[in-house]
Amino acid sequence: MPVTRLTLTDFRSYAAATIEGTRGFVLLSGENGAGKTNVLEAISLLTPGRGLRGAALSEMARIGGAGGFAVAAKIGETDIGTGANAVSPDRRQVRINGAAASVNSLSEWVSMLWLTPAMDRLFLGSTGDRRRFLDRLVLALEPGHAHHAARYDAAMRARNKLLADERWDEAWLASLETAMAEHGAEVAEARARTVAALDERLAAVPDDDFARAEIRLEGWAEADLSPMLQANRGRDAAAGRAIAGPHRQDLAVSHRTKSMPASRSSTGEQKALLLGLILAHAELVTERRGEPPILLLDEVAAHLDPKRRAALFERLGGRGQVWMTATEASLFEGISEASRFHVGGGEIRNV
C-alpha cells in the first residue's frame, strides 16, 4: 500500500515537514544537498534495518534539534511511527496504530525496495553489501526473514564474545550454536528460495532496454551448521569470528546474454543489470504478496539516456508507488500523472 502521508520531525535537515496525498509516482526535485535523499531515507525506516544509508540512528537527528527524531506515516488505514529520543539516541522505537511494536514487525506491514547511487558499485563491492541487498530482496517476499536474520546475528555475536573468554561455558556455548543452526537454516533457505524464484523470472523476461541478470547463491551451503560450529570452536576462537555459516554467503550476478560476470561488465551495463533486477523483483513481489512494493529510486533518471528513461517510466507506470528524486524536474519528462514536490531550505512544497 502507498504512503499517503509522511511527517518528519527533527529528521536530518527537516525541523518539521509533511507530504500528503501521494499516489503512483512521487517526484522530488531540488539542488544537490537540498534534502531529497533524506526523505527517501525516512521512508526506508518504515521497514526493518538501518535504512537506505545504513546510518546510525544518532546521525539522523537534526543538528540543533532536541536530540531525537520521529518519522510518521499513514499506509492504508495503518499509522506507523518510528524514531529515537534524546535519552536513548541509538535505540529505535516503533509504534503501530499507537501501540509499541518491534522493529522486525514492520516487515509485516510494508514491502519496500530501493536503489541509490551508492549501490552502483554493488557488483564490485564487498560480499557484505551484496548479502544486505539480497536480504532486502528476501524480506520483501518473506517478512519473517527479519526475525531469523536478527536472531542468527545475535547468537553469533554472543558466541564470538564467549569464545574470546579463556574458559567457555559449554552449556551456554552449545545453546548459542543450536540457535545459530536453527535460525541460520531458515535464513539460508529463504535466500535460496528468493534467488531461485527471481532467477526464474529474470530468465522469462524478454530482452529490452535493461540487461537481464542471471543470479545464484554462492558460499556456505551446508544442511546442518551445528556440528560444523562445534568442530570449529578452536579455529573460530583464534579468528575472532565464525568461519562458517550463512553470513559467509554471497549473491553472484552475471550478464545473462553475454554470460559475463557483472563485475566485469561496463558501468552502464551494471546499472542496467541492477535496474532490471529490481524491476523483475518488484513484479515478483506483486505476484506473491498481492500488492506491489514501494520503490525508492534516488537519482536514477540522471544516469539514463532519454530512451532508457522512457522505458523505465513505462515499466514503472501503474505498478504501485514509486518515489524518485532528481536535481532537475525536466528529468521526469514523460511522466504524466504524478505528485510533484520541490525540496529546498528544509522545506517540501507542491509544484
Tell me: the pLDDT tens digits for 248-273? 999 999 999 899 999 999 888 888 89
**Torsion sign over Cα 51, 7, 84, 14:** positive
CA-nearest of 327, 322, 349 to 338 is: 322
Alpha helices in the chain (DSSP H): 36-44, 57-60, 127-141, 145-163, 170-204, 226-231, 233-239, 267-289, 306-316
pLDDT score recorded for residue 23: 73
Q: How confident is the model at residue 12 (pLDDT cuts 50, 70, 90)?
A: very high
pLDDT score recorded for residue 351: 85
Model confidence at 151: pLDDT above 80: yes
Range with lowest mean pLDDT among 107-111, 303-307, 310-314: 303-307
Give dist(CA 105, CA 243) in Å, integer: 30
pLDDT score recorded for residue 336: 83
Give dist(CA 99, CA 95) in Å, integer: 5
Alpha helices in 205-249 (DSSP H): 226-231, 233-239
The more confident residue out of 45 and 223 is: 45
pLDDT score recorded for residue 202: 93
User: Which residues lie below 8 Å from residue 304, measured CB to CB, with a gap of 6+?
Assistant: 271, 312
Give dist(CA 245, CA 221) in Å, integer: 8
pLDDT score recorded for residue 81: 96
Q: Which three cell numbers stand for residue 301?
A: 533518471
pLDDT, tens digit, 9 for 90 and up, residues 167-218: 888 999 999 999 999 999 999 999 999 999 999 999 988 777 778 899 999 9
**69-99: burial string, b at 16+ Cβ within 10 Å, e else:** bbbbbbbeeeebbbbbeeeebeebbbebeee
pLDDT score recorded for residue 284: 93
Backbone conformation region of residue 30, classed left if phi is above 0, alpha if psi is from -120 to 50, else beta: left
List beta partners, residue 114: 296
Q: How confident is the model at residue 331 (pLDDT cuts 50, 70, 90)?
A: very high
CA-nearest of 246, 251, 245, 247 to 199 is: 251
Model confidence at 304: pLDDT above 90: no
pLDDT score recorded for residue 289: 87
State the average pLDDT over residues 46-71.
92
Q: Kind and range of the H or E element at 29?
A: strand 25-29
pLDDT score recorded for residue 44: 97
Count of CA atoms in the C-beta half-sphere (13 A) of 89: 16
Give dist(CA 99, CA 166) in Å, integer: 44
pLDDT, tens digit, 9 for 90 and up, residues 222-236: 778 999 999 999 999
User: Which residues lie below 8 Å from residue 125, measured CB to CB, with a gap of 6+?
Assistant: none
pLDDT, tens digit, 9 for 90 and up, residues 123-150: 999 999 999 999 999 999 999 999 999 9
pLDDT score recorded for residue 319: 79
Domains of the chain, residue spans: 1-111+292-351, 122-290
pLDDT score recorded for residue 149: 95
Amino acid, single-letter form, for residue 274: L
Backbone conformation region of residue 295, classed left if phi is above 0, alpha if psi is from -120 to 50, else beta: beta
Give dist(CA 191, CA 252) in Å, integer: 12
Amino acid, single-letter form, for residue 10: D
pLDDT score recorded for residue 223: 76
Mean pLDDT computed over every residue of the chain: 92
pTM exceeding 0.75: yes
CA-nearest of 121, 124, 190, 118 to 152 is: 190
Model confidence at 114: pLDDT above 80: yes
Q: Does the structural domain 1-111+292-351 have CATH classification 3.30.450.40?
A: no
Amino acid, single-letter form, for residue 46: L
Q: Which three cell numbers stand for residue 318?
A: 501503474
3-state secondary structure of 297: strand
Architecture of domain 122-290: Up-down Bundle (1.20)
Q: How many CB atoms lie within 10 A of CB 330?
A: 9
Q: How confident is the model at residue 306 (pLDDT cuts 50, 70, 90)?
A: confident
